[in-house]
């Protein structure tokens, strides 16, 4: 069974809007990442962010979780132009994190060994209905492909940075990255589909 996220999904529209205005004052799309920014995941992010930033020049970036502010400082040293479009939350209470997650159009969640149902950072995004792109690796269970709960790219494919737009049209978010006036939409059924297909789930 998937490990449920402890992050609630009941953020008020006002709280979401307030966070979105802080992250993206012009109302342009927000690409987020939630994690602890350990060396392996940070390396994945450093590798793919330049491609995403180049392909989505109007997008803003939101880094959430413990270590996010330190990661942003490291990003500023490596890619100052990308860092100038980014915001970091630092550690937040669960209810506050839910509101920030709700302000994101898309989550990019690369894992060096692939997404699994034990990745609580990925499960938090699903619980909050945020369209998500992640990596498929040696630890990734078949349920992810079976349900289509997230868009997947192989771990070996550095192309997560170049394939993310190709992988997300069904989630209704791609148009947001080419037009700042396109409506915000995301797949709200991802978590329910994942749980419904889990072993032991009663129909």
Q: Is 132 helix (H, G, I), strand (E, B) or coil?
A: strand
The residue with greater pLDDT, 30 or 200, is 30
Tens of pLDDT along 160-195? 665 566 555 444 454 555 444 444 444 444 444 444
The answer to whether residue 129 sits within a structural domain is yes
The answer to whether residue 6 sits within a structural domain is no
CB 103 within 8 A of CB 62: yes
The whole-model pTM stands at 0.82
The answer to whether residue 8 sits within a structural domain is no
Tens of pLDDT along 91-137? 999 999 999 999 999 999 999 899 999 899 999 998 898 989 999 99
Query: Which residues have CB under 8 Å from 99's CB, separation 6+?
Result: 11, 12, 15, 16, 18, 19
The answer to whether residue 201 sits within a structural domain is no
Task: Look up the domain containing 32 and give its range.
Answer: 13-196
Q: How many folded domains does the chain comprise?
A: 1
State residue 30 phi and psi, 5-degree precision: -120, 125
CATH code of the domain containing 107: 3.40.50.2000
Q: Please tell me the chain's helix, strand, coil percentages from 3-state DSSP, rounded to the nearest 5.
A: 45, 15, 45
The answer to whether residue 118 sits within a structural domain is yes
Nearest to 171 by CA among 151, 193, 201: 151
Tokens 């959430």 sit on residue? 64
Kind of pairing, strands 60-64 and 132-136?
Answer: unpaired
């Amino acid at each position: 069974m998937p490990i449920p996220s402890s992050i609630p999904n009941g953020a008020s529209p006002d709280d979401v809007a307030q966070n979105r205005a802080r992250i993206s004052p012009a109302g342009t799309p927000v690409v987020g990442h939630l994690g602890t920014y350990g060396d392996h995941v940070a390396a994945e992010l450093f590798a793919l962010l330049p491609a995403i930033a180049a392909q989505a020049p109007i997008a803003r970036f939101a880094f959430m979780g413990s270590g996010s502010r330190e990661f942003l400082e490291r990003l500023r040293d490596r890619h100052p132009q990308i860092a100038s479009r980014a915001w970091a939350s630092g550690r937040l209470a669960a209810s506050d994190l839910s509101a920030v997650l709700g302000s994101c159009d898309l989550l990019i969640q690369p894992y060096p060994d692939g997404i699994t149902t034990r990745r609580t950072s990925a499960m938090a995004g699903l619980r909050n209905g945020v369209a998500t792109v992640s990596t498929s690796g040696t630890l990734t269970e078949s349920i992810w492909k079976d349900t289509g709960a997230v868009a997947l790219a192989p771990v070996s494919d550095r192309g997560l940075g170049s394939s993310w737009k190709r992988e997300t049209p069904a989630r209704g978010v791609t148009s947001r990255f080419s037009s700042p006036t396109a409506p915000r939409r995301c797949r709200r059924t991802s978590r329910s589909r994942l749980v419904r297909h889990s072993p032991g789930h009663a129909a």
